[in-house]
């Protein structure tokens, strides 16, 4: 979701037209957006209020030119459920096959370390945001 919103923002600011952006999760669980993520996006002047959770489906592979995984376990899920190979976000941006970790992946007992997790969440949103120029520059190398 953060990557979708940051990419939309970057494309708009750079007046890049003709690219449709959407996000979908491997499991769209109805939940409130994390306050730190929301506030960090708002500090970057990105309004996340209209985001709707969507679950990844076969339709995405039929309609999209590029599907990106944030984490290696997302790649595994896609391989297992859709028999497709997709690149990682860091692979597109920096040529690295590394994952952008969710809180629970970074620290399984994250609820016991809320200050650390807040800092990590802020860092992650900012990292994704500042990676967008590289993403846009390199994304065509990964189109299906």
- The CA-based angle 79-85-86, given to 5 degrees, is 115
* pLDDT per residue as tens digits for the range 40-97: 999 999 999 988 888 999 999 999 999 999 999 999 999 999 999 999 999 999 999 9
* pLDDT per residue as tens digits for the range 101-143: 887 777 777 777 788 889 999 999 999 999 999 999 999 999 9
Assigned CATH topology for domain 2-142: Rossmann fold (3.40.50)
pTM summary value = 0.90
Query: In angstroms, rounded to a whole number, what is the distance separating the alpha carbons of residues 129 and 93?
Result: 11
In whole angstroms, how large is the CA radius of gyration of the chain?
A: 15
Domain range annotation of the chain: 2-142
């Amino acid at each position: 979701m953060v990557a979708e919103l940051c990419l939309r923002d970057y494309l708009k600011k750079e007046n890049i037209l003709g690219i449709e952006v959407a996000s979908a999760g491997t499991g769209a669980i109805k939940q409130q957006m994390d306050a730190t993520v929301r506030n960090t996006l708002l500090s970057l002047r990105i309004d996340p209020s209209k985001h709707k959770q969507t679950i990844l489906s076969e339709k995405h592979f039929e309609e999209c030119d590029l599907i990106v995984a944030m984490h290696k376990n997302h790649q595994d899920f896609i391989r297992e459920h859709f028999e497709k190979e997709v690149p990682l976000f860091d692979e597109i941006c920096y040529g690295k096959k590394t994952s952008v970790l969710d809180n629970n992946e970074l620290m399984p007992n994250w609820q016991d370390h809320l200050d650390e997790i807040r800092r990590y969440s802020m860092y992650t949103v900012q990292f994704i945001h500042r990676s967008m120029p590289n993403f846009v520059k390199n994304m065509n190398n990964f189109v299906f």
